[in-house]
Amino acid sequence: MSEVMTPDMAAVILDKFMEIQRARIFQGATQKPFSIQLVTLDLSNAVLPTRPYKIGFPFKSFYVQSATDVYSTVNVKVQMQDSIQSSFPTKLNDSWVNEFPVAEAYLDWPAQAGKTMTIVFFLESEYRSGSQISVNGGGVSINDGSSISLATVTLSAATAAQIAPADSLRKVANIQNKTGAVLYIGDSSVTNAAGTEGINIQPDEIIEWRNTGALYGYSVAGGKVQRTEEK
């Protein structure tokens, strides 16, 4: 038979609960316990799973506060380094929460030249991102930006050159071929020859470059290429 709760019994239980809350507040004000830690990682050089970057303090949740771009990635393995424990990838704006604190974690990542990532670890609290980010990844742009700029690139004859530089903030670049002839686009090795021939862009044709990486152009006679950048 279940026991009937009385007002006096409820008051006793709630008083004990409030005592715990007051003790927590007192501890925070007097002892200033470690509760939040920010870690910035340089992803330029690979860190292998066999020799991972160790997070040697306990935490309950973490949040990827910033990264160079949405392609920046770090693999996370919690509690143990053993192969029986699987890792999971985390990227910009990702968060992870566990019901109870974990003792430690191990991070690894492939080499990502010039990229960094900042992760915030929370010892006792649960953090879930409530913000949305404008993402340019996987060939899909969720937001075409809030500003625009115009640039002109003049290509030398028969020489590949950047017509859109690498830019982690770019949402989309609109590129128009004003050379008066065929423009070949691709990577830094692009030419009009078999094997390195780029994609053909006809005179006055406009393309959209939805990528944060650099784009190169090649023209036999050279000439102008117009570009607008949306960020």
Mean pLDDT of the residues in the chain: 85
Among 145, 128, 155, smallest CA distance to 221 is for 155
Counts for the chain of helices (H) and strands (E), in that order: 1, 18
Neighbours of 106 (CB within 10 A): 22
Residue owning tokens 């316990």: 33
Amino acid, single-letter form, for residue 81: Q
| Mean pLDDT across 160-186 | 92
Contacts of 67 (CB under 8 A, 6+ apart): 91, 92, 115, 116, 117, 118
What is the C-alpha separation between 108 and 35, in angstroms, rounded?
24
Among 33, 35, 37, smallest CA distance to 119 is for 37
Instruction: Specify the pLDDT at position 84.
Output: 78
pLDDT tens figures, 25-55: 665 566 555 678 999 999 999 999 999 999 9
Task: Please tell me what DSSP assigns to residue 54.
Answer: E
User: Greater confidence, 14 or 102?
Assistant: 102
The DSSP bridge partners found for residue 162 are 216
Helix H, strand E, coil C: the string for 64-78 is EEEECCCCCCEEEEE
Residue owning tokens 């050279």: 222
If you average pLDDT over each of 15-19, 62-66, 144-148, which comes out highest? 62-66
Helices (H), 5-129: 7-30
What band does 192 get if pLDDT is binned at 50, 70 and 90?
very high
What is the C-alpha separation between 138 and 129, in angstroms, rounded?
22
- Please return the burial class of 220, using the count of CB atoms within 10 Å of its CB with bins 0-12, 13-18 and 19+: middle
Q: Measuring CA to CA, how many Å separate 75 from each of 108, 109, 174?
A: 5, 6, 34
pLDDT tens figures, 67-118: 988 889 999 999 888 777 889 999 998 999 988 889 999 999 999 988 999 9
pTM over 0.95: no
Instruction: Specify the pLDDT at position 149.
Output: 87
